[in-house]
Amino acid sequence: MCSGALAATLRRVIIICESLGHSFGRLRALKGVSCEIASGCTGLLGPNGAGKSTLIKCLLGQLRPRGRISVLDADPAVEPLRVRQRVGYMPEADVYLHGSSGLDMCAMCGQLSGMRRADAVSRAHEVLNYVGMGEARYREVDGYSTGMRQRIKLACALVHGPRILLLDEPTTGLDPSGREEMLQIVDDVAHRRGMDVLFSSHILRDIEQTCDRVVVLNEGQLIFSGSLADFQQEESSLLHVRVKDGRERMARVLIDKGCQVDSLEGAEHLAVKLPEGATPELIFRSAIDQGLQVRQLVPATLSLEQAFEKAIIGAVEGGPAK
């Protein structure tokens, strides 16, 4: 069994949502969202107003949605304190404790999670080192820059050693280097420190860089839930074919056999859409007949932007995709 398949087998479900719905007055923020989120780093993707933050607040027990929800086998609506004990949350909004230094705020968060004062202060120093807060930790949070506040929020989310980290737009307002550092930290806790991460963002590249799985929401509906690779997978009949010396000849032969062939400008491969009922065998046979060598035959993948755009358009035209 390859390591990827093994990892997939070992993944356990940490969050379950069943027919989740929530409204703010007449605005329906979540419309029957059902999904399972496995351990690892999962991206929560969607345009502004898609319901990402609402879903996270439901997971924390701050909102009481319709439907069923389970976080680490506990229902946040019934046992919110138990859930919050095991979850670290980095909110999107600019939140801080007025008049506190970064160290105080972080230690206070540790204490609120049940740590003794001495443990909380010591632990706060550790996580502040980890997120790259230097001497600024002794200054009042009120005077921090946006980047520093993002770091302090992340440190506060990590201080009590949560099992799941919920990040709501963690790169908002960061400059390119700050964003890169934030993504590195997220990648580190998710892939090397064994923490499960739910990373909410509307920035596709952030998700692509850090997550292995993705949950896509649009206008409160679930569009997709699964691996990032599956999300980017083009429909199965579209294949990328690369042949040795004879790209044009191969294209002509495949067109004669009823395939739709797009010889992409500047690309080495052909984008081939097989006719109804045909299998990739057709490509190999055609190559043998023409004395050509197939160097690569892979299912076509989309960039995350293309996949996202396609999913959103698909959802608008025909309801939730999958």
HSE (side-chain half, CA atoms, 13 Å) at 114: 8
Closest by alpha carbon to 98, among 148, 68, 143?
Answer: 143
For residue 127, the minimal CB distance to other proteins (Å) is: 7
Question: Looking at 31, 82, 205, 242, which residue binds other proteins (CB under 8 A)?
Answer: 82
* Cβ-contact 269, 299 below 8 angstroms: no
Q: Which stretch binds other proteins (CB under 8 A): 9-17, 39-47, 96-104, 309-317?
A: 96-104
Q: At residue 43, what is the residue type?
A: G
Q: Give whichever of 159 and 216 is closer to other proteins, judged by the CB atom.
A: 159
- C-alpha gyration radius of the chain: 24
How many residues touch other proteins under the rule CB under 8 A: the total is 47
Q: Give whichever of 163 and 242 is closer to other proteins, judged by the CB atom.
A: 163
Distance in angstroms between the alpha carbons of the first and the last residue of the chain? 27
Q: Rule CB under 8 A: is residue 108 a binding residue for other proteins?
A: yes
Q: Give whichever of 53 and 201 is closer to other proteins, judged by the CB atom.
A: 53
Burial grade of 214 (CB within 10 A; 0-12, 13-18, 19 or more): buried
CA distance 186 to 182: 6
* Cβ-contact 290, 246 below 8 angstroms: yes
Site mask for other proteins (CB under 8 A), range 255-284, x = bound: ------------------------------
Question: Looking at 54, 113, 171, 286, which residue binds other proteins (CB under 8 A)?
Answer: 113
Cα dihedral 98→167→74→67 (10° resolution):
110
For residue 217, the minimal CB distance to other proteins (Å) is: 21
By CB under 8 A, the residues from 127 to 156 that bind other proteins are: 127, 129-130, 142, 156
Closest by alpha carbon to 152, among 176, 135, 132, 166?
Answer: 132
Interaction site with other proteins (CB under 8 A): 60-62, 64, 80-82, 84-85, 87, 89, 91, 93-100, 105, 108-109, 111-116, 119, 123, 126-127, 129-130, 142, 156, 158-161, 188-189, 192-195
